[in-house]
Structure 1
Amino acid sequence: MDQDIILETRALSKEFRGFVAVRDVNLQVKRGAIHALIGPNGAGKTTVFNLLTKFHVPTRGQIIFNGQDITAEKPAQTARRGVVRSFQISAVFAQMTVLENVKVALQRKLGVDYHFWQSTASLRSLDEPAMALLEEVGLAAFAHHLAADLPYGRKRTLEIATTLALDPEMLLLDEPTQGMGHEDVDRVKDLIKKVSASRTILMVEHNMKVVADITDTITVLQRGEVLAEGPYAQVSVNPAVRTAYMGTEDA
């Protein structure tokens, strides 16, 4: 396997009771790249994410990460390899502070459970790395706010922070800017670009401006199959892609 390729799928397919959601998808994600997976609703993007992170078992095909076949692994095994994902719906502990949310994730990375009955003092060793991470994502000023009180865009930023706390080698972002206003979209876009300096990012994203501005490679799915692949400048002028998807967007 090419050392520049961190993740590869070979003829990856998934059927649900006869319905083919993903058919023979061959992906090659380069190490250190921002790679976008796009396509119309129902194209199979989230199913591919679920296959990569083992929420679904492939009907056939292979998933190779860092040269190792991880197709048969359980979700926790794949996560321990450094493949970590976010979700379309924000997944944070609403009644914990922003700082506490990051500390929970840091404890998971250390391989210990979060002990809710422990004194605050016993967890203070995590304050410094947690604050450093909040500084990195621009949430330091919100450290002692309840997650429930954050504006939507900041809440999604907190979710990215908690995934970063797990120190992923590869970060899978599922619709990171969904439902955001322009200001929040720009903030998250800049954050994704910033954190990509030391890790690989594969993301599902509908906002074509975000895709155009920060991605290195785009894979377009249609009806569960790869329709086109390449840099934005190439994919955006592909007639088949424009007909299937991008012609309906402000690109």
Structure 2
Amino acid sequence: MANDAILETVGLTKEFKGFTAVENVNLRVKRGSIHALIGPNGAGKTTCFNLLTKFLDPTQGSIRFNGQDITCEHPAAVARRGMIRSFQISAVFPRLTVRENIYIPLQRSLGTSFHFWKSRAALAALDDRAMELLAQVGLESFADLVAMELSYGRKRALEIATTLALDPELMLLDEPTQGMGHEDVDWVMELIKNVAANRTVLMVEHNMKVVEGICDTITVLARGSVLAEGSYSEVSVNPLVVEAYMGSADSELRSPGGH
């Protein structure tokens, strides 16, 4: 694998009782880039994410991260290597404060588990780093707010902050702007660009405004296979890609802001 590739798959395939969800996917994610997986519903995007992070085992093929074969590793081992993902469904602890949500992943550095019953003073050693992370995602003024009181967009920002707390080399974001209004989408786009400054981002995203605005490379999946790959300007005029999106409720490929 070339030195500029942080993640690479060869012939990645996943079958479910005769149904092939992902077929012979060769993916190469360049270090320091923002790389998007797009495609109509049922294209295999989330299945591919689950294979990469080892929530599913491939039927065939291999996965390499930083030049190391991780095909047979467990999700926790992959996370410890520095590949951390978010999920489509909000994953914050709603009854904890924003700051306490950040304490949980930060405690990994202390080698302890989170003590829900202890006072905040017991976690004071983590406070500076927690506030630094919240500042990165624009949530420092919300540190003592209970997470359930955040807007949807800010909850997604908190999820990104908890992902950053694990110091990932590669962040995998599963539909980070799903369900957001236009203002939140613009804000989260800028947030992703900022946090990608020192790391690599691989994301599944339906919003073509986001894909066009911040992604360096786009891989288009259709029926589990790679249909096209390149910049937005390249894939958006590819006849095979346009055909795959025709009639899809997901997105108008050539219309910025379409879903």
Q: Which interval holds the TM-score relative to the shorter structure?
A: over 0.9
| Separation of aligned partners in 1, 2:82 and 2:23 | 26
Q: What are the Cα deviations for residues 34-75 of structure 1, in whole angstroms up to 9, with x where unaligned?
A: 000000000000000000001000001000000000000000
Structure 2 residue 151 is matched with structure 1 residue 154: no
**TM-score when normalising by structure 1:** 0.98
Structure 2 residue 184 is matched with structure 1 residue 184: yes
Alpha carbon RMSD of aligned pairs, Å? 1.1
SS in 2 for 1:20: strand
Q: What are the Cα deviations for residues 119-156 of structure 1, in whole angstroms up to 9, with x where unaligned?
A: 32111111111001101110011111100000111111
On the 8 A contact 1:108/1:114 being kept in 2, the answer is no
1:50 corresponding residue in structure 2: 50
1:99 corresponding residue in structure 2: 99
**TM-score when normalising by structure 2:** 0.95
| Separation of aligned partners in 2, 1:139 and 1:157 | 8
Structure 2 residue 10 is matched with structure 1 residue 13: no
Q: What are the Cα deviations for residues 181-217 of structure 1, in whole angstroms up to 9, with x where unaligned?
A: 0110001000000011100000000000100010000
Rate the CA distance shift 1:117–1:173 in 2: closer, same or farther, 3 A.
Answer: same
2:143 corresponding residue in structure 1: 143
2:221 corresponding residue in structure 1: 221
2:244 corresponding residue in structure 1: 244
| Separation of aligned partners in 1, 2:55 and 2:133 | 28
- Counterpart AA for 2:210: V
| Separation of aligned partners in 2, 1:205 and 1:64 | 23
2:171 corresponding residue in structure 1: 171
SS in 2 for 1:227: strand
| Separation of aligned partners in 2, 1:194 and 1:246 | 33
| Separation of aligned partners in 2, 1:137 and 1:246 | 36
Unaligned runs of 5+ in 1: none
1:26 corresponding residue in structure 2: 26
* Deviating 4+ runs (over 4 angstroms): none
CA drift at 1:116: 1.9
| Separation of aligned partners in 1, 2:65 and 2:14 | 19
Rate the CA distance shift 1:167–1:142 in 2: closer, same or farther, 3 A.
Answer: same
Pairs within 5 Å for 1:73-88? 73-88=73-88
SS in 2 for 1:8: strand
1:36 corresponding residue in structure 2: 36
- Counterpart AA for 1:101: N
SS in 1 for 2:15: strand
Rate the CA distance shift 1:239–1:196 in 2: closer, same or farther, 3 A.
Answer: same
CA drift at 1:112: 2.0
CA drift at 1:109: 4.3
2:199 corresponding residue in structure 1: 199
Unaligned runs of 5+ in 2: none
SS in 1 for 2:76: helix
